[in-house]
Amino acid sequence: KIGACPNSHGTNVARMAGIPENIIQNAKISSEKFAHNLKIIREHKQSVPQMGIFLNIIDGINKRLNNNNNNNSNNDDIIQCPYLDTINREVLDFDFEKQCSVSLANINIYACLVCGRYFQGRGKKSPAYYHSLQVDHHVFINLRTGDIYCLPDQYQVFDNSLKDIQNALNPTFTKQEIARLDIDGKSVRTLDGKTYIPGIVGLNNIKHNDSINVVIQSLLHVPVLRNYFIEEENYKDIDSGLLNSYGEMNRKVWSKDLFRGHISPHELLQAIRENSNKRFRIGQKMDPGEFLVWFLNELHYLLQNNAMTEQPLKKRLTNNNEVVVNNNQQARIVSKKATSIITDCFQGKVRVTTYEKIKKKKNKEENEEENNNKKKKKESKKLVGYSSKKKTIPFLYLTLDVPPAPVFKDSLEKNQIPQVPLFVLLEKFNGEQLLHQTISGNKQSFIITQLPRYLIIYIKRFTDNHYFTEKNPTIVNFPIKDLDLYDYCSKKLRKKKNLSTTYNLLANIVHVSPEEDSSNTGSSADPKKKAGKQHKKIAGSYKVDILNKANNRWFSIEDLIVNDILPTLITLSEAYIQIYEQQPYNPNHDNNNESNNNNNNNNNSNNDDIIQCPYLDTINREVLDFDFEKQCSVSLANINIYACLVCGRYFQGRGKKSPAYYHSLQVDHHVFINLRTGDIYCLPDQYQVFDNSLKDIQNALNPTFTKQEIARLDIDGKSVRTLDGKTYIPGIVGLNNIKHNDSINVVIQSLLHVPVLRNYFIEEENYKDIDSGLLNSYGEMNRKVWSKDLFRGHISPHELLQAIRENSNKRFRIGQKMDPGEFLVWFLNELHYLLQNNAMTEQPLKKRLTNNNEVVVNNNQQARIVSKKATSIITDCFQGKVRVTTYEKIKKKKNKEENEEENNNKKKKKESKKLVGYSSKKKTIPFLYLTLDVPPAPVFKDSLEKNQIPQVPLFVLLEKFNGEQLLHQTISGNKQSFIITQLPRYLIIYIKRFTDNHYFTEKNPTIVNFPIKDLDLYDYCSKKLRKKKNLSTTYNLLANIVHVSPEEDSSNTGSSADPKKKAGKQHKKIAGSYKVDILNKANNRWFSIEDLIVNDILPTLITLSEAYIQIYEQQPYNPNHDNNNESNNNNNNN
């Protein structure tokens, strides 16, 4: 057909031109979508008069259509945004006030990621929506939530390539990252290729806000305060723009995802302006000292833990528990007991003694004066005619007065800049120097009664009068390290234990005089113009010297300018405000001698013996694993082993011909740790490294515990986070199953939760004099399992398994299945043998003992002679005693022998009255565990052709020890009865589930119903033991070892075995695996541990398991528990 065809969109022309049909069909589909989208645009109530804007809209639609045709195989729920390549990170700046550039609103603000402008909303009538249509900018980010949307299509964008933008908007930190801020000092690269160190970031000087910048920079490097504000959870419930903007400033300065190496504090300055009622605002010069005082008080007011109310300033308070804080020109009522992170960091206390003149009074008033003086505790002995009053007041900073500068010039007609040591200024707080008050005529002395964690020193340099605002240029010589305040503390404070009085400098704010006024110490001011006077007072600028603790380097920051600075140059500056950090207590530090030396030497010398290692940033904690056997990976030696902290491998020695030395040269790995002492060295330079950032590695190698920490192991049940962000509870840690060592793991896990035994092995002092690899490795296992400094939430028992293999002569080794009952008996006897308090000797097994005071313990296939009186922590925990009564048959004898038999019978104390024809013998023997026999499982099946699993109460099995039940001995034909004569502190019950013969190794699946709490053994105690005062017979369950049958053999109670192959028979006997149920006493929760798998478990499910070995803990004596009545009731029921 000939003629126009508007709806064909040119497809007919293309067909006549010979274009392939498949291309024409795709073009037809795209044209229809184009027509549909064009119809949507026309429906909007928006005029598009400019042709250029209309063409931009058409181009945007074409891009969306082309991208939809190409991305046919993507996820239907997540739409791939085609405009991510239009994002321009170089124009993005999230530091300014979040305000719409069109409506000036500050709610629901979005930033365009193409041009960087701010717009409100994303609805069809919002400025952001119109902006996306007009200029073809489609990607926007919500400045509050960080969500990214594509407009005008209104779908959310999810793409990992945008994480850097979201982190630049609001950086996030994990607790591990916060803890490592003062450890990791690596430089980070920005978009323009420049580098910066997190924390060392310049702040933009918008207009005369340098005085605020230096204060903010100083507080950003106070570790405790910084960590508090980085975690937004600490103050998220407080509706305060100041807290939010200051917290955001902390996160941005310490972030590793900044687009540029500086930040604009515009939003924080706006919040300061609002909270201070325009007292501190952009464009006005101000004093950093005044701002620091206001800022700390304002933060304390917002964060304090007590409710506050506001009243007019003229209304005074009469309640002694409240105080008026004059902030923002109004009175804020704050409780004296109110605390916050501000008081925790900066608050100290000083005792002010005021000496008032005693005025002469009339005769009538003299008696009243004398009565009042009697009520006073002490009368001033220093000053005659003065009465003293003492008052302790808190402080956030110490103000020091600088001596006046000289007025006259020297012979060269120049003013020499005077110098004064900081300790001379601190004499104000020695308690003896008296300061005269000009108006009242009184005198005052000051002395510190409580030291703050962070000390702020405010050096008063400016003096103000009606004619001049004068700056004192005197240089104060101050120490950067080891500022000692011992001489300025009260006597009571000096006697305090573990008191640290030394401080190290963190930040130093310096006033820089303008060049044109550098020769003039004063500047004229009009007394009528207060604002101008204030401006003249702080003429010049401010900079701050900051210590970066991660790499121990000093930086000088003046607005956007960041430079390195030598510590010696810092002491020559005109210091104005300083922040010192209190150092940990050092018991070797002699406060008296050191303070005298500091006063004489001005603390100008640092420790030259400690070298700062430049390779600490190469340490990789993720590859470190100290659980394996300490053996060199090259020479296979096990003496003097070092671990490389970069790759984690073990090497011997650190001499010039050692494997560790060669490794440091070959692969450029320089930091090594001695696996025995924990000392860290740098190779090949051969110097020892001392750095607090390495404490976590030393604790991971060999955790240490104080006695207080050991006593709180069963009290503190808080979770701890590992390097990978996962959490674990100390004590509830999985053990690696290297190969068939699950039976050893469950026994070790059970013993690790016996409190007395655990506490004994955690303290290495208890067995340090015994040369035993088994004791050392087992003690190390106890410390690691209960440590809070593990790099991962599981431990490998490799080193302990090697020690067990050596001590057992390969009886228990890796790769061989074994019975946990056999291992438990051997392990307890081996520990007792090593720890017993009497000397031991070893003899061949065939040689028997004739000494009644000694006994043979058959351990490791050899006889070990142990004194019967030998005790250890094993016997203290697990040993009880049982009386065994054996009934032997009386044999008929000849006439000659009858007389001898009668004589022997007379020597016996008692004759058996229960059994006729039997004689009885009683013997008391010690035990470490009680063996209980389970009744045989039913042989025949029920009507449903299934074997029902039988159940039996634990108390039925314990009837074996009631003293009345007789057990028949098949070989001798004798009978025996058992009764307990001494209860152990921790009771081990061994339920005998396996029976062995020539054809089968059979497991009895009978479920034993046992109590988790209040297992009462009163009925199984002897009469003499029952009469014992304050006897506790109740036990609570601590650990329960369970045998788990394999799935393929779950329906078969027995497994065939070749009687000729003993090893194979043993393997069949313990087929399956083992797990253990553990009670965490700190939070009273039960956990099921199977090798590395740790899960919560309900107590009701524990009683349904096939218990194999149990450990019970004896409970304290309860006088309300009537044992006699309970035993009678049990006997009647039985």
> Is residue 642 a contact partner of residue 675, using CB atoms and an 8 Å limit?
yes
- The predicted structure's pLDDT at residue 305: 55
Q: Evaluate if residue 890 carries a pLDDT over 80.
A: no
Q: Evaluate if residue 777 carries a pLDDT over 60.
A: yes
> Is residue 388 a contact partner of residue 355, using CB atoms and an 8 Å limit?
yes
The Cα-based distances of 299 to 240, 302, 783 in angstroms read 10, 5, 42
- The predicted structure's pLDDT at residue 1076: 92
DSSP string, 323-386: EEEEETTEEEEEETT---HHHHHH-EEEEEEEEEE-----HHHHHHHHHHHHHSS---SSSTTE
Q: How confident is the model at residue 859 (pLDDT cuts 50, 70, 90)?
A: low
- 363-398 pLDDT, tens digit each: 555 656 655 655 444 444 456 667 888 899 999 999
- The predicted structure's pLDDT at residue 518: 39
- 326-350 pLDDT, tens digit each: 554 444 545 567 888 999 999 999 9
- The predicted structure's pLDDT at residue 789: 84
- The predicted structure's pLDDT at residue 864: 55
Quick one: CA dihedral 981, 986, 987, 988, positive or negative? Answer: negative
Q: Evaluate if residue 1059 carries a pLDDT over 60.
A: no
Cα(984)–Cα(929) distance, rounded to whole angstroms? Answer: 9
Q: Evaluate if residue 316 carries a pLDDT over 70.
A: no
- 451-488 pLDDT, tens digit each: 999 999 998 888 776 666 778 888 888 888 889 898 89
- The predicted structure's pLDDT at residue 218: 92
Q: How confident is the model at residue 79 (pLDDT cuts 50, 70, 90)?
A: confident
Q: Evaluate if residue 1111 carries a pLDDT over 90.
A: yes
Q: How confident is the model at residue 229 (pLDDT cuts 50, 70, 90)?
A: very high
Mean pLDDT computed over 773-791: 88
Q: How confident is the model at residue 524 (pLDDT cuts 50, 70, 90)?
A: very low
Least trusted range by pLDDT, from 72-86, 251-265, 674-688, 842-856: 842-856
The more confident residue out of 571 and 300 is 300
Cα(672)–Cα(663) distance, rounded to whole angstroms? Answer: 10
Amino acid (one-letter) located at 654:
R
Amino acid (one-letter) located at 682:
C
Mean pLDDT of the chain: 77
- The predicted structure's pLDDT at residue 331: 46
The more confident residue out of 695 and 608 is 695
Mean pLDDT computed over 551-568: 88
- The predicted structure's pLDDT at residue 808: 87
> Is residue 449 a contact partner of residue 493, using CB atoms and an 8 Å limit?
yes
Q: Evaluate if residue 1054 carries a pLDDT over 50.
A: no
Cα(158)–Cα(142) distance, rounded to whole angstroms? Answer: 13
- The predicted structure's pLDDT at residue 672: 92
- The predicted structure's pLDDT at residue 996: 77
Burial 483-512 (b: 16+ CB within 10 A, else e): bbbbbbbbeebeeeeeebbbbebbbbbbbe
Cα(441)–Cα(420) distance, rounded to whole angstroms? Answer: 28
The Cα-based distances of 778 to 761, 985, 1074 in angstroms read 8, 21, 20
The more confident residue out of 1116 and 12 is 1116
Q: How confident is the model at residue 499 (pLDDT cuts 50, 70, 90)?
A: confident
- The predicted structure's pLDDT at residue 673: 93
Q: Evaluate if residue 599 carries a pLDDT over 80.
A: no
Instruction: Report angle CA 191, 194, 200 to the nearest 5 degrees.
Output: 105
- 619-670 pLDDT, tens digit each: 988 888 887 778 888 888 888 899 999 998 999 888 888 888 888 888 889 8
Which two tokens mark 560? 């956007």
- The predicted structure's pLDDT at residue 75: 43
Q: Evaluate if residue 1133 carries a pLDDT over 70.
A: no
Q: How confident is the model at residue 509 (pLDDT cuts 50, 70, 90)?
A: very high
The more confident residue out of 431 and 413 is 431
Residue 276: its H or E element: none
> Is residue 502 a contact partner of residue 484, using CB atoms and an 8 Å limit?
yes
Q: How confident is the model at residue 449 (pLDDT cuts 50, 70, 90)?
A: very high
**% of the chain surpassing 70 pLDDT:** 75
Mean pLDDT computed over 484-508: 89
φ, ψ for residue 755, nearest 5 deg: -55, -45
- 956-997 pLDDT, tens digit each: 888 888 888 888 777 777 888 889 988 999 999 998 888 777
Q: Evaluate if residue 152 carries a pLDDT over 50.
A: yes
Mean pLDDT computed over 555-572: 87
Mean pLDDT computed over 211-231: 91
Mean pLDDT computed over 77-103: 82
- The predicted structure's pLDDT at residue 1092: 87
Which two tokens mark 1033? 């017979």
* DSSP state at residue 758: H
- 703-728 pLDDT, tens digit each: 888 888 888 888 888 888 888 878 88
Chain centre distance of CA 86: 43
Give the residue from 5, 163, 182, 185 showing the smallest Cα distance to 89: 163
